[in-house]
Amino acid sequence: MLATQNNVTAPGVLDQRIQEARQRTDEIFALVKPEALYDRPIAERHRIIFYIGHLEAFDWNLLGERIFGLKSFHPSFDRLFAFGIDPVGGGLPNDQPSEWPTVEQVRNYVAKVRDILDDKLREGSPDTNSQEFPLSTLLNVAIEHRLMHAETLAYMLHQLPLDRKIFQKQPAEVSAPPVHPEMVEIPAGATTLGLSRSDEQFGWDNEFEAVQVDVPAFAIDRYKVTNRQYLDFIRAGGYETRSLWTDDDWKWKIEHNISYPAFWEQNGDQWLYRGMLEAVPLPPDSPVYVSHAEAKAYARWADKQLPTEAEWHRAAYGAPHDADRMYPWGNAEPSAKLGNFDFVRWDPVAVTAFPDCDSAFGVADMLGNGWEWTSTPFAPFAGFEPFPFYPGYSANFFDGKHFVMKGGSARTAACMLRRSFRNWFQPHYQYMYAGIRCVRR
Ligand code: AVJ
């Protein structure tokens, strides 16, 4: 498990977390065969080579001058690798491999950035009181930015053909009891979203300020929707039933000729799940991963709805007679027996595999094993202030076209399983480890 102490400011601890985070992203790039490093597994995103340079350019651009007063040794790479691409809007990128630097040039840049920043970090912290933000906040931003990319890179490499990846041995399968889908009643009550600045915990700009919300009673699926359940939706003609889809979603579905999840593959009359490193017969009890558009259509077909962010939060953290818990299972820090997260596996497991994860209301599998879509557009809480050193991190996406996801996947770092963490994506992006849990009001 990676350290989760978001509030620890000791330079030694943060330094160690930076090293661990680098191992996570290094191990991702090590999956890619050398001849595939200039591939673009997802049409809307950059080629793989970009991300090798991006992680260090981000750290350099954040810390180099601002914290350590350093002058750039490679301004053109600092700029070339500065920004990723949001899959919404614009046309598809059409750059060619030959327009990018060589792997050697990029790896040299990466090594040099690491050397210089590590020397500075080891020299001890600069005068943090003279900074607008404490050094620990900036280091947490660097660490979590990298760890988020460890997950988004996994989504991306998931779409890379299997013969372009280097096979690795996978952890043993976990055994799990059969799934009996049912709904759990959640009584009306208050829940507290977000993080209070007075808690002095690290959080991204969109996690502040804390806000209490009254949630009316509702019922929620005990488990995430499984592949088996989703197959029923497909067999019932879900993708061909116009009334289940909004106008925008239907248009997207037709335009891209979508009739099943991006993680599935048809082999004769058998469905396969394309895992990170091998394709297997569709595991019926694993959660299905789909776009927001598909999640909504499924929910409508099942005569249910997607939960709001507040409903999801209350089901996960609320307790019948007590205040919200830190985690669904209680206040203990995340550990490997509590769920499928923190880089143990590449792929999902059965939704019943981790019974110790159950929330106080008995809702299962809420952290890890796949994010869960909510119906809530990504928007600021009252008291939101963008980080001056990264003003666009959240604010660029407060456009009504991105929706909040909660929970976490097999590739979510333990530190980002904190209650206030909010993830978001646009509704027509099929590639995340994100699935469905429905409610009925
Ligand atoms: C928070 C996962 C939606 O990948 O678009 C990485 C994280 N932002 N670099 C994304 C992010 C800039 C972001 N998500």
Residues in the chain: 441
Alpha carbon of 245 to ligand 1 centroid (Å): 27
**Closest atom, ligand 1, to C-alpha of 149:** 6
> At 394, which amino acid appears?
S
Which among 44, 145, 152, 415 is the best mutation to test ligand 1's pocket, defined by most ligand atoms within 8 Å of the CB?
A: 152
In whole angstroms, how far apart are CA 171 and each of 124, 168, 263, 298, 349? 39, 10, 20, 31, 11
Lowest mean per-residue pLDDT among 27-31, 113-117, 127-131: 127-131
Q: Is the CB of 126 under 6 A from ligand 1?
A: no
- pLDDT on residue 318: 98
Do the Cβ atoms of 101 and 165 come closer than 8 Å?
Answer: no
Give me the pLDDT at residue 87, please.
53
Q: 81 in ligand 1 pocket by Cβ < 6 Å?
A: no
Average pLDDT value over all residues in the chain: 94
152 CB near ligand 1 (under 6 Å): yes
With a 6 A CB cut-off, is 145 part of the ligand 1 pocket? yes
CA of 371 relative to ligand 1 center, distance in Å: 14
Averaged pLDDT for residues 338-362: 97
| Ligand 1 near 146 CB (within 6 A) | no
| Atom 5, ligand 1: residue with shortest CA distance | 86
Burial of 404 (0-12, 13-18, 19+ CB in 10 A): buried
Atom of ligand 1 nearest to the CA of 86: 5
Report how far residue 66's alpha carbon sits from residue 392's, in angstroms, rounded to the nearest whole number.
17
Whether the CB of 154 sits within 6 Å of ligand 1? no
Q: What is the pLDDT of residues 235-281, one digit of tens each?
A: 999 999 999 999 999 999 999 999 999 999 999 999 999 999 999 99
Number of the ligand 1 atom closest to the C-alpha atom of 393:
8
- Is the pLDDT confidence value at 131 over 70? no
To which H or E segment does residue 77 belong? Answer: helix 75-80
Q: What is the mean pLDDT of residues 147-176?
A: 95
Cα 403 to averaged position of ligand 1 atoms, centre (Å): 13
Question: Does residue 7 register a pLDDT over 50?
Answer: no
Amino acid letter, residue 354: F
Task: Give CA separation, 424 vs 161, 199, 292, in Å.
Answer: 26, 24, 10
Which residue has a Cα nearest atom 8 of ligand 1? 393
Count of CB atoms within 10 A of residue 269's CB?
A: 5
Per-residue tokens: 312: 């999801």
Nearest ligand 1 atom to alpha carbon 423: 1
Is the bond preceding 35 in cis, omega lying within 30 degrees of 0? Answer: no
Candidate of 62, 145, 148 to mutate for ligand 1, largest count of ligand atoms within 8 Å of Cβ:
148
Contact 430, 156 (CB under 8 A): no
Task: Give the confidence band of 172 by pLDDT, cuts at 50, 70, 90.
Answer: confident
Asked whether residue 369 carries a pLDDT value surpassing 90, the answer given is: yes
Q: Is the pTM of the predicted complex or chain greater than 0.85?
A: yes
What Rg value do the Cα atoms of the chain yield, rounded?
A: 22
pLDDT at 86: 62
Measured CA to CA, the distance from residue 291 to residue 432 in angstroms comes to 8
Cα 365 to chain centroid distance, Å, stands at: 16
Contact (Cβ atoms closer than 8 angstroms) between residue 296 and residue 286: no
Atom 4 in ligand 1: which residue has the minimum CA distance? 152
Q: How confident is the model at residue 89 (pLDDT cuts 50, 70, 90)?
A: low
216 CA distance to ligand 1 middle (Å): 32
Q: 423: CA distance to ligand 1 center in Å?
A: 8
Assess contact for 322 and 231: CB atoms under 8 A.
Answer: no
SS3 (DSSP) at 328:
coil
118 band by pLDDT with thresholds 50, 70 and 90: very high
- How many whole angstroms from 311 Cα to the centroid of ligand 1? 24
**What pLDDT, on a 0 to 100 scale, did the predictor assign at position 78?**
97
Confidence of residue 2 (pLDDT cuts 50, 70, 90): very low
Residue whose CA lies nearest to ligand 1 atom number 9? 145
The residue whose C-alpha atom lies closest to atom 7 belonging to ligand 1 is: 148
Domains parsed from the chain with CATH numbers: 11-164 (1.20.120.450), 183-226+288-440 (3.90.1580.10)
pLDDT above 70 as % of the chain: 95
Query: Which H/E stretch holds residue 377?
Result: strand 371-377
423 lines ligand 1 (CB under 6 A): yes
Of the segments 11-20, 84-93, 163-172, 295-304, which one has the largest average pLDDT value? 295-304
Query: CA–CA separation, 7 vs 389, rounded Å?
Result: 20
120-134, 241-255, 305-319, 365-379: segment of lowest average pLDDT: 120-134
Give the mean pLDDT of 87-97.
79
Rounded to an integer, what distance in angstroms lies between the CA atom of residue 370 and that of residue 436? 9
Q: What is the mean pLDDT of residues 346-373?
A: 98
